[in-house]
Chain A
Amino acid sequence: METNGHKSHLTIALAGNPNAGKTTLFNALTGLKQKIANYPGVTVERKEGSWVVNGETANLVDIPGLYSLDATSLDEQIARDVITGNQAGLPKPDVIVAVVDATNLERNLYLVTQLFEFGIPVVIALTMIDVFEKQEHEIDVEMLSVLLKTPVIAINAKSGRGKNQLAAKVAEVVHTTPAIPYVYDEAEDEAGPHGKIFARYNFISSVVQDSVWHSDQKSHRISDKIDRVLTHKFFGLVILVAILLVVFQTIFSWASLPMDMLEKGFGAAADLVRSQMPPGILTDLLADGIIAGVGGVVVFLPQILLLFLFISLLEDSGYMSRAAFLLDKLMSRVGLHGKAFLPLISSFACAIPGIMATRTIESRRDRFATIMIAPFMSCSARLPVYTLMIGAFFGGRYVFGFISLGAVLMLAMYALGVFVAIIVAFILKRTVLKAPPPPFLMEMPPYRWPNFRTVFQNMFTRAGLFIKRAGTVILTLSIVLWAMMNFPRPSQNDVDQITAEVEQTCNCPPEEAQDKIETLVKARMLDNSIAGSIGHAIEPAIAPLGYDWRIGIGLMSAFAAREVFVSTMSILYNVGRDGDAENESLLQAVRDAKGDDGKPIWTPLLAFTTMMFFLLAMQCMSTLAVVRRETNSWRWPIFMTVYMCALAYIVCLIVYQGGKALGYG
């Protein structure tokens, strides 16, 4: 939007309470022409779009949903800055459109009384009036307008009712001096520090009394009936668990179908490149660096789209605040908000959509604490590593003769992750994220049918933001990681030597020999690569955990995605690039792997230590990219990496050395 400096362009601010229908109206007015960014240095979202007013394109700025403008929270501070023209890059608005929910008139008008104080013309968009009238209440819109000395337009964003009148009214009031319907006299302030609040509500009460007729019918009747079931002490919890199970099932298993297809598609594209282009660095970069990197970004889309479909549905319908209401006691014991539950459950599938889902938590500290512990939930990328370790060392063993030891270990990893997360949250909330317990004042909006346009727009906006912000970081890191594992290249000498060796020792058909040569060259390259050098260099540091340089390389490769550990070990143990976690030859290779001193590297104890390491360590660059995006700073992802890796190292050191001392080595 080229508004800067052009006097002919209008800036219009859209302000209103949460749940007043502001997002729906914003979407209806601007269509798809929106841009979303963050206000500088903070995580508050800045949303702008184009709205045609009187044949002129105006810039519509969506102010975060808020109850008051008294600048006690970050959102309120920013809203105030936008309205006063103190927000960099945004001119002072010419008109404020105040969204007011007719079913909740008194509290919604409170914000409007504050907006009057800025001397900017205000036009009130009255939403939900159809709902209000259905409840057999009546509202005299004209009278309301007269009493408030401000234009009031009844709006239905879905049907488009009032959209044109709103635009016309906005055009009419531009550059006029607004009449102020009520003046608060500071000199007569006798009501104590909150006198202003009382005065505003007194004014509102008189306005509402003269413009609204309530029928005897209780206004929340249908919502109350639904709530009797959905927030019931027993059935409410049962339904909540069922809903969470559906969400979990969807992102954990149903999303895997499109994800597998995407992975296969990108795999096929890489193969196509490899078969069509001459072998060499460029081909490798394209196939293993760029295509694999883009694939690594796109593969998250099904999960993100599905999770945000659910979140939008739950939020738009009004259920999200009920879920938080039901769970708040449980979550507040750990110092978290009731709304932290869904992001944490989602993180069992993948921390990336989970961390993005923390957006629903308003308090910054609560939100950051949730982000910091989300990666402890055992995500699906850890499964192949657990499977490999269990398959190689704990397969076919039973506890009490009938419970599979593998299943027990798997369950233990999930439970341990939750346990550690609880402890870490407890500590964080008392140290780094220490704050007086945030007030838990949460509006429980009446149940409403979700607006599908809003739901889908929200879904695709989130996906787009993920690709734009996190995607670029993930792609860059994938290419850097690829380069680290591919440079320097093995010399022709090395290749010749390996070829000669294989041809001498292996009496196999040429095709098999070729495969073998390729795997050996790849292993040699990894060994000599930058990643390999780092693997060798860090060996002294990881040796106390029982790791050699090969596992060091594996750990580094896991930074691309944890499951890559399996294929890297497969290359390093010369099984070939396609080894997966249930491949018997890979399992055997792991069992047989010898260290440089000739002793077997892997023991059941080391396998268990490795599972612990993968559970606790921060080794997922995509997660870090998302944390960077969601916290709007590198401080938090760096802090996350340091504290999680330190924790993993200490715990694994104790487990491995302790286990050895007890004779399990």
Chain B
Amino acid sequence: MKRKTDEAESMTLTNLPIGRDARVTAVNGTGSVTRRLLEMGVIPGVAVQVVKMAPFGDPIEIRVRGYSLAMRRTEADAIEVSY
């Protein structure tokens, strides 16, 4: 997996401000969750946006490839983005 941790704006999806357009730089991990994320189209290079958070701050909803995907913060933490 390509990792660009040296980039200044690099962060995970969890702390990406709501509504900000960003691009996925890396999806960390090797387990089935990572695989599922990739299969759902969250792969390095794809445009992504955090749409909103649930009432208790978790899960979050993201927009990727024209559809909405909800995930918990634990999953979102594995997704690195830059903008």
Give the contacts of A326-344 with B (CB-CB under 8 A). 326, 328-330, 332
Chain A 543-556, CB-CB to B under 8 Å as 1, else 0, gives: 00000000000000
Give the contacts of B33-49 with A (CB-CB under 8 A). 33-41, 43-44
In the complex the two chains form, what is the Cα distance from A104 to B39 in whole Å? 14
Contact of B40 with A107 in the complex, beta carbons under 8 Å = yes
Pick the residue among B35, B52, B63, B69 that contacts A72 (CB under 8 A). B35
Pick the residue among B39, B43, B51, B69 that contacts A443 (CB under 8 A). B69
Q: B38 CB to closest chain A CB, in angstroms?
A: 5
- Give the chain A neighbours of B74 by CB distance below 8 A: 437
Contact of A439 with B75 in the complex, beta carbons under 8 Å = yes
Q: A190 CB to closest chain B CB, in angstroms?
A: 12
Contact of A220 with B68 in the complex, beta carbons under 8 Å = yes
Give how many A residues have a beta carbon under 8 Å from the other chain's beta carbons.
Answer: 43
Chain B 23-38, CB-CB to A under 8 Å as 1, else 0, gives: 0000000101111111
Give the contacts of A310-330 with B (CB-CB under 8 A). 321, 324-326, 328-330
Q: Does A449 contact B (CB under 8 A)?
A: no
Q: Does A604 contact B (CB under 8 A)?
A: no
- Give the chain B neighbours of A7 by CB distance below 8 A: none
- Give the chain A neighbours of B58 by CB distance below 8 A: 328-329
Contact of B69 with A442 in the complex, beta carbons under 8 Å = yes
Contact A70:B39 (CB < 8 A) given known A192-B1, A219-B66, A233-B55: yes
In the complex the two chains form, what is the Cα distance from A67 to B5 in whole Å? 30
Chain A 87-117, CB-CB to B under 8 Å as 1, else 0, gives: 0000000000000000111110010000000
Closest to B33 in A: A439
In the complex the two chains form, what is the Cα distance from A237 to B55 in whole Å? 8
In the complex the two chains form, what is the Cα distance from A315 to B4 in whole Å? 40
Q: Does A198 contact B (CB under 8 A)?
A: yes
- Give the chain B neighbours of A5 by CB distance below 8 A: none
Chain A 430-447, CB-CB to B under 8 Å as 1, else 0, gives: 000000010111111110
Q: B44 CB to closest chain A CB, in angstroms?
A: 8
Contact A231:B54 (CB < 8 A) given known A104-B66, A441-B71: yes
Closest to A214 in B: B66
Closest to B1 in A: A192
- Give the chain A neighbours of B1 by CB distance below 8 A: 192, 194
Q: Does A193 contact B (CB under 8 A)?
A: yes
Q: Does B65 contact A (CB under 8 A)?
A: yes
Give the contacts of A440-458 with B (CB-CB under 8 A). 440-446
Contact of A328 with B72 in the complex, beta carbons under 8 Å = yes
- Give the chain B neighbours of A325 by CB distance below 8 A: 54, 59, 61, 70
In the complex the two chains form, what is the Cα distance from A104 to B65 in whole Å? 8
Pick the residue among B40, B55, B59, B67 that contacts A236 (CB under 8 A). B55
Q: Does A619 contact B (CB under 8 A)?
A: no
Q: Does A248 contact B (CB under 8 A)?
A: no
- Residue from A110, A237, A325 whose CB has the most chain B CB atoms within 10 Å: A325
Q: Does A593 contact B (CB under 8 A)?
A: no
Q: A110 CB to closest chain B CB, in angstroms?
A: 6
In the complex the two chains form, what is the Cα distance from A266 to B26 in whole Å? 65
B interface: dominant SS: mixed
In the complex the two chains form, what is the Cα distance from A437 to B74 in whole Å? 10
Contact of A201 with B41 in the complex, beta carbons under 8 Å = yes
Contact A441:B70 (CB < 8 A) given known A107-B41, A201-B41, A328-B59: yes
Contact of B69 with A441 in the complex, beta carbons under 8 Å = yes
Q: Does A68 contact B (CB under 8 A)?
A: yes
In the complex the two chains form, what is the Cα distance from A538 to B34 in whole Å? 55
In the complex the two chains form, what is the Cα distance from A541 to B75 in whole Å? 51
In the complex the two chains form, what is the Cα distance from A223 to B67 in whole Å? 11
Contact of B54 with A326 in the complex, beta carbons under 8 Å = yes
Contact A201:B32 (CB < 8 A) given known A328-B54, A442-B69, A444-B70: no
In the complex the two chains form, what is the Cα distance from A582 to B41 in whole Å? 61
In the complex the two chains form, what is the Cα distance from A262 to B38 in whole Å? 52
Contact A326:B55 (CB < 8 A) given known A72-B36, A440-B72: yes
Q: Does A243 contact B (CB under 8 A)?
A: no
- Give the chain A neighbours of B32 by CB distance below 8 A: 72, 439
Contact of B55 with A321 in the complex, beta carbons under 8 Å = no
Contact of A104 with B54 in the complex, beta carbons under 8 Å = no
In the complex the two chains form, what is the Cα distance from A98 to B39 in whole Å? 17
Contact of B68 with A444 in the complex, beta carbons under 8 Å = yes
Contact A441:B36 (CB < 8 A) given known A198-B43, A329-B54: yes
Give the contacts of A344-389 with B (CB-CB under 8 A). none
- Give the chain A neighbours of B38 by CB distance below 8 A: 194, 197-198
- Give the chain B neighbours of A444 by CB distance below 8 A: 61, 67-70
Closest to B71 in A: A441
- Give the chain A neighbours of B67 by CB distance below 8 A: 103-104, 107, 443-445
- Give the chain B neighbours of A328 by CB distance below 8 A: 54, 58-59, 70, 72
Q: A336 CB to closest chain B CB, in angstroms?
A: 13
Contact of A441 with B30 in the complex, beta carbons under 8 Å = no
In the complex the two chains form, what is the Cα distance from A224 to B69 in whole Å? 13
Q: A426 CB to closest chain B CB, in angstroms?
A: 18
Contact of A440 with B30 in the complex, beta carbons under 8 Å = no
B contacts, CB < 8 Å to A: 1, 30, 32-41, 43-44, 51-52, 54-59, 61, 63, 65-72, 74-75
**Which A-B residue pairs are the 9 nearest by beta carbons?**
A329-B56, A444-B68, A439-B33, A68-B39, A106-B65, A233-B55, A440-B72, A442-B70, A197-B38
* 10 A–B contacts from the bound complex (CB under 8 Å): A103-B66, A106-B65, A110-B39, A192-B1, A197-B38, A220-B66, A325-B59, A439-B36, A440-B72, A441-B40
17 more A-B contacts (CB under 8 A) besides A194-B38, A441-B75, A444-B67?
A72-B36, A104-B65, A105-B66, A194-B1, A197-B38, A198-B43, A231-B52, A236-B55, A326-B55, A328-B54, A329-B57, A329-B58, A439-B75, A441-B37, A443-B40, A443-B67, A443-B69
A contacts, CB < 8 Å to B: 67-68, 70, 72, 103-107, 110, 192-194, 197-198, 201, 219-220, 223-224, 227, 231, 233-234, 236-237, 321, 324-326, 328-330, 332, 437, 439-446
